[in-house]
Structure 1
């Protein structure tokens, strides 16, 4: 049996990033390592996890591209569904996110917006697909 267990984002400051996601999206902290190099948020069957760039570098001897808020975002996003996209976008920006795309209604009725988190990762904030 194969189970999708987690997504790990490589970040500058694990604890700061965990606090951002707790404050904005109401996620519950599952774990942070004593050295603050790794942390997890409980999102149900899978976790949203964060590893420091230092830890990632020690695991990936071939290197990796670090997220950079001054560069274009990677071609990947994490998404959160809400009934009030505008309010959640505002809350994210108030907590340090950068607005990337204003909320827009899609032809199928869904409202979608994009922010970039503290490290520059794309976060989609949207309503349910109708």
Structure 2
């Protein structure tokens, strides 16, 4: 599965997924300074980020809109949940659940990405 997220601010979304979560850009369209779609590699997975613009015309014909409510939840594996949360907090990312040990053995935290998508961080 390859999730593709729509974003009202591609640079802000890149700051979150690339800078704070360590994603590596693997695809850009169009090439150059002003892409409208990017793919980032996060560990063994990819996530697509598509810019919502006034002239966005998706193939499916449905209007693109930012997240509202709990439509999707992403799980991102990180090396150190606490250190990742510290970096995010310093960057102003909303922390929804502080790092917490779960009964099934994982350490988990929740944050909100720049478009309101829920992101669960857990140890890899």
TM-score by length of 1: 0.76
Unmatched segments (≥5 aa) in structure 1: none
CA distance in 2, matches of 1:83, 1:66: 29
1:18-77, CA deviations, whole angstroms, 9 ceiling, x for partnerless residues?
A: 232121111111233244211111236642110112389511433355225xxx3x2421
Does the CA-based 8 Å contact 2:39-2:49 persist in structure 1?
yes
User: Residue 8 in 1 paired to residue 7 in 2?
Assistant: no
CA distance in 2, matches of 1:93, 1:119: 16
What does residue 111 of structure 1 align with?
A: 107
Q: CA RMSD in A?
A: 2.4
What does residue 62 of structure 1 align with?
A: 62
What does residue 93 of structure 2 align with?
A: 97
TM-score by length of 2: 0.79
Does the CA-based 8 Å contact 1:10-1:56 persist in structure 2?
no
* Higher share of residues assigned helix: 1
